[in-house]
Structure 1
Amino acid sequence: MEDLTVEAPLVLGERSSVMVQVSVGEADERGWRGVRVFGRSGEGGWTRYATGVLSPVVGVPEAVVGVWPPSGAEPVGLAGLYERLAGRGYQYGPLFQGLKAVWRQGREWFAEVVLPGDGGVSGYGIHPALLDAALHMLAAPSGGAVEEVRLPFNFAGVGLYATGATALRVRLTPVDESGDTISLQLTDPTGAPVAHI
């Protein structure tokens, strides 16, 4: 996936259902295709929630070998993180509380995430709760009050190399000086590549 921009959140109620439609366009000369995601609940009209571009598959990266976490990386405390996030209005249920350890080295962040409980992975390229937990380290550094929670809305250069993961090692690297654009490298606990964003 070359690019995916989430234009609006798709809100699911406790007892509601939403019809989802994914539209994929014709391939251009490079093999790239536009993609659009729509949804609707009940008899209402269709709302566009995301747009993007798909491209042909590229090669799989090499496994990441070496010491984990990297030598010199400093541990970051996570005590009370999900309680602090809840205080800011971000309610993560038990399945979405998978951030287990975080380290920092310079501008890079490293984490271990797991899929808690019986979060089955069947039917997913990567389970949404596991992917979401990989981004929770963005809220971890403050230690006290969570002052800012960043939610991603644009994804680029997405590659999925393995399915069925229930635990991940995550490497987050800022791409620009502001830190607003990041690169995520996701591997399994042995270092084998799972995904890159």
Structure 2
Amino acid sequence: HNLPHHQPTAITLTHPHHNPTHHLLTALAHTATTWHTHHHTHTNPHPRTIPDLPTYPFQRQHYWLQSTPGAGAGDVSAAGLQRPDHPLLGAVMELADGDGFVLTGRLSLRTHPWLADHSVGGVVLLPGTALLELAFQAGLRTGCPRVDELTLHAPLVIPESGHVVVQVSVSVPDEAGRRAVNVYGRSAEDEETDGEWTRHAEGVLCPSTDEEPNAETAAAGEWPPPGARPVVLDGLYDRLAGAGFVYGPVFQGLCAAWRDGDDVVAEVRLPDEGLADVAGFGVHPALLDAAVQTVTLLLADQQQAGLVPHTWNGVSLHARGATVLRLRMTPTDTTATAVRLRATDETGAPVLTLDSLLMRPVPLEGLGAGV
């Protein structure tokens, strides 16, 4: 550009031996300071044609798209990996010395902001339904789509800043075709220092039995079932928050429930905030978590509602991408902390069957230690 009463000034915007972004920003900064210096040290014959620099602080607002789940993995094929195309996973690798597999992913509140809606004891926890989803994905990729058992050992905390790395390992099959599965996690700090991994879940995957889902489904016949008594849900999420379980909009999917004898039948819907990546999941963790919340309605004292999944048994996924579930939850013990679950879509087609889910209290103190 030409500055008034000054020799023409040329500033290069690129240089073959410099970082292009750094060089461009440096050049623009130099242009701005040169313009500003000249304007204040030379007589300007056309004062209205040259604007002054702003006197207010620059507003630091991003104009680029935020990273989406799975973003940042780059071309993992260049490292001999495969992209699993799943919101919680970034790469999958078959081990060369056998028939084992490893699936990995990186989770943070920046790449997965909906996880912030699942807060327990003041910290964000990866829901147990997400650990089950990881086991499902491992099974689908290794010919073992049924989760025969999955026991959760330690909560996986999602930090306010930074990330955690998850790793799902699947063993070679035994004579019956069953495979061991383990889910590990490691914080960003431990990753930098080669710190230890924490095992958050372990279980067994098995081949499908090819049996048809049980005819006893949540939506068999009329909906809701004749004679079922409505359950008032007003204030439910406030009571859960009082017990230390703060559910944001994505996890507030329990919208209607009825008592039918000893059972609870209910309808859960994935809120609009969770619809963006629902197609990538077998079943969205927030939708299944809303189904698990139904256990609260079976408890005689809802003030003791601080329960989380501990052991899943006999879980089969029959359809992917559901946004609405109609379910029947049946207690299998006198305390209602062990239940059986059958879930369908709105047409009555099976989505998920669960032989047994054991719930346990979670100690709220110390959940955020070391995070």
Query: Residue 21 of structure 2 aligns with which residue?
Result: none
Indicate yes or no: 2:237 matched with 1:82. Answer: yes
Q: Equivalent residue of 1:134, what SS?
A: helix
Instruction: Give aligned pairs, total.
Output: 197
Query: Residue 10 of structure 1 aligns with which residue?
Result: 156
Identify, as 1 or 2, the structure richer in strand. 1
Q: Equivalent residue of 1:67, what SS?
A: coil
Contact 1:61 1:193 in 2 (8 A): yes
1:3 partner amino acid: E
Matches within 5 A, 1:178-193: 178-193=335-350
TM-score by length of 1: 0.93
CA deviations over 1:98-127 (Å, ceiling 9, x no partner): 000011112111000000013130321000
Distance change in 2, residues 1:107/1:128 (3 Å): same
Contact 1:162 1:195 in 2 (8 A): yes
2:242 partner amino acid: G
Distance change in 2, residues 1:195/1:145 (3 Å): closer
Query: Residue 86 of structure 2 aligns with which residue?
Result: none
Query: Offset of 1:139 from its aligned partner?
Result: 1.9
2:263 partner amino acid: E
Query: Residue 126 of structure 1 aligns with which residue?
Result: 283
Counterpart among 213, 216, 225 of residue 61 in structure 1: 213
Q: How far apart, CA to CA, are the structure 1 residues paired with 2:301 and 2:334?
A: 24
Q: How far apart, CA to CA, are the structure 2 residues paired with 1:62 and 1:107?
A: 19
Query: Offset of 1:62 from its aligned partner?
Result: 6.2
Q: How far apart, CA to CA, are the structure 2 residues paired with 1:164 and 1:60?
A: 20
**Aligned sequence identity (%):** 51
Query: Offset of 1:87 from its aligned partner?
Result: 1.4
Identify, as 1 or 2, the structure richer in helix. 2
Q: Equivalent residue of 1:146, what SS?
A: helix
Query: Residue 95 of structure 1 aligns with which residue?
Result: 250
Query: Residue 34 of structure 1 aligns with which residue?
Result: 180
1:115 partner amino acid: L
Q: How far apart, CA to CA, are the structure 2 residues paired with 1:162 and 1:23?
A: 24
Distance change in 2, residues 1:167/1:152 (3 Å): same
Contact 2:296 2:302 in 1 (8 A): no
- Bigger Rg, which one: 2
Indicate yes or no: 2:208 matched with 1:51. Answer: no
Matches within 5 A, 1:122-161: 122-140=279-297, 146-161=303-318
Contact 1:94 1:116 in 2 (8 A): yes
Counterpart among 318, 329, 340 of residue 172 in structure 1: 329
Query: Offset of 1:145 from its aligned partner?
Result: 6.0
Q: Equivalent residue of 2:307, what SS?
A: coil
TM-score by length of 2: 0.51
Bigger Cα displacement from structure 2, 60-69 vs 90-99 = 60-69
Q: Which has the higher contact order (CA 8 A, sep 6+)?
A: 1
Q: Equivalent residue of 2:150, what SS?
A: strand
Query: Offset of 1:2 from its aligned partner?
Result: 0.3
2:148 partner amino acid: E
Q: Equivalent residue of 2:347, what SS?
A: coil
Bigger Cα displacement from structure 2, 80-89 vs 91-100 = 80-89
Q: How far apart, CA to CA, are the structure 1 residues paired with 2:227 and 2:236?
A: 23
2:200 partner amino acid: Y
Query: Offset of 1:165 from its aligned partner?
Result: 0.4
Indicate yes or no: 2:171 matched with 1:25. Answer: yes
Unaligned runs of 5+ in 1: none
Indicate yes or no: 2:258 matched with 1:112. Answer: no
* Cα-Cα RMSD: 1.9
Q: How far apart, CA to CA, are the structure 2 residues paired with 1:47 and 1:106?
A: 42
Q: How far apart, CA to CA, are the structure 2 residues paired with 1:15 and 1:24?
A: 29
